[in-house]
């Protein structure tokens, strides 16, 4: 191969890698869609359902949309033991802080609520996935399937090892 040929391949490498990546993304998404479409019980989606499945160690592959802009926030009361976790879009965080300011605690009524911890949902799920020996696939929105994951399934889906309904 001449120098020109080598240069061409090197130049094209990132593009080729990207194409391979898209094929992999499509494959894993198609597997998920198959399980959902055939109602096999071997797939689930949405934050709450996928979290439950992760906690039972049932998730074989976790599918997350890239750029999933969701946070897991722990709110706690500084006067009593009240604590609550919630999920929200990252841009709502300031809003939540303002809402908490001066709001009485549901348990002890003291206006002592504050944000104790914030975590990226992706980070939170990655930790759960690690405990359950789960593979994580980050899915871009560059393919039709990736768009579907984001728009129709809230950007969070899972292929399961076993049927959770039984």
Give CA–CA dist 76/34, Å, rounded: 41
Which stretch in 14-22, 100-108, 119-127, 143-151 sits in contact with Zn ion by CB under 5 A? 100-108
Using CA atoms, how far apart are residues 48 and 153, in angstroms rounded to an integer?
12
* Beta-carbon contacts of residue 144 (< 8 Å; ≥ 6 apart): 26
| Bridge partners, residue 111, by sequence | none
- If one asks whether residue 75 binds Zn ion (CB under 5 A), the answer comes out as no
Q: Is 82 in the site for Zn ion (CB under 5 A)?
A: yes
Contact region for Zn ion (CB under 5 A) — 21-29, 41-49, 51-59, 82-90? Answer: 82-90
**The binder of Zn ion chosen from 43, 54, 75, 77 (CB under 5 A):** 77
Residue 22 makes contact with Zn ion by CB under 5 A: no
Please select the residue that binds Zn ion; options are 20, 23, 108, 115, rule is CB under 5 A: 108
Closer by beta carbon to Zn ion, 59 or else 113: 113
Burial 82-116 (b: 16+ CB within 10 A, else e): beeeeebeeeeeeebeeebeeeebeeeeeebbeee
Interaction site with Zn ion (CB under 5 A)? 77, 79-80, 82, 105, 107-108
């Amino acid at each position: 191969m001449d120098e020109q040929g080598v240069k061409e391949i090197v130049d094209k490498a990132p593009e080729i890698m990207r194409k391979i990546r898209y094929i992999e993304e499509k494959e894993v998404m198609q597997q998920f869609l198959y399980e959902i479409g055939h109602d096999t019980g071997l797939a689930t989606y949405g934050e709450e359902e996928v979290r439950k499945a992760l906690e039972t160690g049932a998730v074989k592959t976790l599918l997350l949309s890239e750029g999933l802009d969701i946070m897991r926030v722990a709110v706690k009361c500084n006067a009593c033991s009240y604590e609550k976790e919630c999920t929200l879009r990252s841009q709502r965080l300031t809003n939540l802080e303002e809402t908490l300011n001066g709001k009485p605690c549901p348990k002890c009524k003291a206006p002592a609520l504050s944000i104790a911890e914030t975590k990226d949902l992706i980070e939170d799920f990655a930790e759960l996935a690690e405990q359950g020996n789960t593979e994580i696939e980050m899915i871009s929105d560059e393919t039709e399937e990736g768009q579907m994951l984001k728009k129709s399934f809230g950007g969070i889906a899972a292929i399961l090892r076993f049927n959770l309904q039984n």
